Amino acid sequence: MLDLAIMLAVFAASFGVGFLLISRVPPLLHTPLMSMTNAISAVTILGALLLFSRDLDPVLTVLGAVALVTAAFNMVGGFAITDRMLRLFRTKAANGKAS
């Protein structure tokens, strides 16, 4: 049960610090920030997969599954948004629609 309390404390602290940092980022830097959060989500996914390699309480298993799903959702969504933004900067010749 101590492990759960430590995990929740780390989650709450990282949530607070992350919110404060992201809320102060100027709009020009949002794309590099999104790339960094994709990398952090990938690390979270690896950590959750490592967590599943051990026998744990059901509560910790559920928390690991929630972390895995939310990190995967964030990572896939970040890549989709980044791809959409990059398509805005492609020229017509690069898209194969040159006239």
Q: Enumerate residues 6+ apart whose C-beta is below 8 A from 22.
A: 33
Q: From residue 18, give the alpha-carbon distance in Å to each of 1, 24, 36, 52, 95.
A: 26, 10, 12, 26, 37
- Rounded to two decimals, the pTM is 0.56
Q: What is the token pair recorded at 88? A: 């805005």
How far is the C-alpha of 75 from the C-alpha of 56, rounded, in Å? 26
**Per-residue pLDDT for 99 more than 60?**
no
pLDDT in the model for residue 36:
72
pLDDT of 93: 63
CA dist., res. 71 & res. 84, Å (int)? 20
Checking if the pLDDT of 73 tops 80, the result is yes
Which amino acid type is present at position 37? T
